[in-house]
A and B are shown apart, each in its own frame.
Chain A
């Protein structure tokens, strides 16, 4: 898959890279973060988009205003988000379920509000900050392909890290907490440490994803792009992609980002067939809502392991057919 990702720019047009590929891997990274906290550690978070916003704004302010080099700015974006994430995560030690959901929801609203209102961010009434041209060590990242590789390198590194993390002692501790936190803590898994760690890692991923949005995709940090509906979309990505699956995070992101395009194409076709004119933007947007919700329910009820399971099923079927005996379990990334 990595090979496919590296080769992609040679095959696909610039539009695909900019509009589909880059956002897919960025949101995939953010979804992976959410998957760590929700899918592995079993804690719910409705604030993933706000943590992305924190990362985006920290990174662009560090790079644009203080001249911090881009790689460090990306790290900083992640770190700021992670620190706030830990603070938000503290209630998770004593309470769970919906209380935690409300805590993260509250942070979603408060963070976005603060980014708009605090004058120091300098984002003004539109709450948007543009980044100066992105340069690392004299090399200019302005073409979509260059940006794509920048994003890809960061995402690949962090995915590898995350993939190893969830299979490590820490990952197993998270899963133990997910299954039954009190039982796990009796068996010696420190609730304090691992729950906070899950929040820390998750919001770090979101922060890095947010700074990649700025440096590798839109070139600006803008509050409107991180409202509550984005948090819900990211939640949808991990449900559809597969809870507790690294691969699923990316599959889900790709699926959710392609969905509006699929719906638009499908509905225009239907409209053309039935002789109607073009379908209005409003209807398309709302149809997307309906399909999105229906998909979430479908996957929750029918296939809780999401697209990831379908993917592995397909892979093993192909292997059987072609007669190669590669191990597919846990393979692919």
Chain B
């Protein structure tokens, strides 16, 4: 019985964390859907956003810090779209990807020059005692973070389905040239997509920051969203959510059961192992569409 409860606890913790991975992954999906750019800089944006929020809190308090950070991220995201990615539009995917690597490096350097390299804690005022459901303990901060992440995910899905800009995004994802022909303002829609990715960076930065502290390792956390993308299929929002849950659960269970035999650290690579398996056997992911290519 104790064994079973331990397993269930691990599973729940894992899935709560998994939702947070899904949220980070959504940042990638947004940009990818809008412009077929694979944005390696999402991690750096998360770090940048979190450092900005933490740096501002002592001066203006949490709420204002979040608002100012939102404005800053909009500026950064739109600026990046304008001076970095617009000149590269039309070049190969490889080139644009390399561009995002460069952009990530700039952001990481700049944010740490501005706010220093010391790891910082981030208190959101969420009570830390665990919640007891029957025999199973669930961590309250994890639960709240997961709830926020879940709400954000729903908000983004609705945004895609219901708003004009969301519709535009989907049209552009389908065929940019055709979308432009029927009068969808490409630039504005792109700018919105980048700004939204910036907002996601703030949310994930703050939630992850309250969990593990704000420091350089954060951009690595964001990279863990990549396996989530692979498993879910990069163009599928639903897939990303399910995949996040799978990865989170695999990590927690892997650490809990295998980790004790080989001295821990399993959760650092578990996500990548699962992703590699998927790549070998089901490259399009769970829900992704197999791309059909034309000459």
Contacts and interface: CB of A to CB of B under 8 A. Distances in A.
A110 B295 contact: no
Interface string A95-118: 101110111011101100100110
Contacts of B91: 300, 304
A183 interface: yes
B87 interface: yes
A117 B227 CA distance: 21
Interface stretch (A129-137, A152-160, A201-209, A279-287): A279-287
A107 B223 CA distance: 13
Interface in A71-103: 90-91, 94-95, 97-99, 101-103
B101 interface: yes
B258 to A, nearest CB: 11
Interface in B111-153: 112-113, 116-117
Given A293-B109, A301-B88, A110 B102 contact: no
B183 interface: no
Given A102-B226, A102-B229, A289 B105 contact: yes
B interface SS class: helix
Given A103-B279, A297-B103, A235 B229 contact: no
Contacts of A99: 230, 234, 279, 283
A232 interface: yes
B170 to A, nearest CB: 20
B38 A97 contact: yes
Contacts of A110: 269, 272-273, 276
Contacts of B110: 286, 289-290
Nearest to B96: A300
B280 A90 contact: yes
Nearest to A100: B279
B295 A290 contact: no
Interface residues of B, number: 47
A37 to B, nearest CB: 11
A288 B272 CA distance: 29
Contact of B101 (A97, A186, A235, A283): A235
A38 interface: yes
B98 A293 contact: no
Contacts of A105: 223, 226, 272
A44 interface: yes
B104 A293 contact: yes
Contacts of B112: 282, 286, 289
Interface in A299-320: 300-301, 304
A228 B95 CA distance: 19
B95 A304 contact: yes
A98 B226 CA distance: 9
Contacts of B272: 105-107, 109-110
A90 B106 CA distance: 33
Contacts of B293: 182
A265 B102 CA distance: 23
Given A109-B269, A293-B106, A117 B279 contact: no
Nearest to A291: B109
Contacts of A38: 94
A289 B280 contact: no
Contacts of B98: 235, 239, 296, 300
A193 interface: no
A294 interface: yes
A44 B276 CA distance: 16
28 contacts: A90-B280, A91-B279, A91-B283, A97-B38, A97-B93, A99-B283, A102-B275, A106-B273, A106-B276, A109-B272, A110-B269, A113-B269, A182-B293, A182-B295, A232-B105, A235-B98, A239-B102, A282-B117, A286-B109, A286-B110, A286-B112, A289-B108, A289-B109, A290-B105, A296-B99, A296-B102, A297-B84, A300-B102
Q: Which 7 A-B pairs have the closest CB atoms?
A: A289-B109, A296-B102, A293-B105, A293-B106, A106-B272, A290-B109, A98-B38
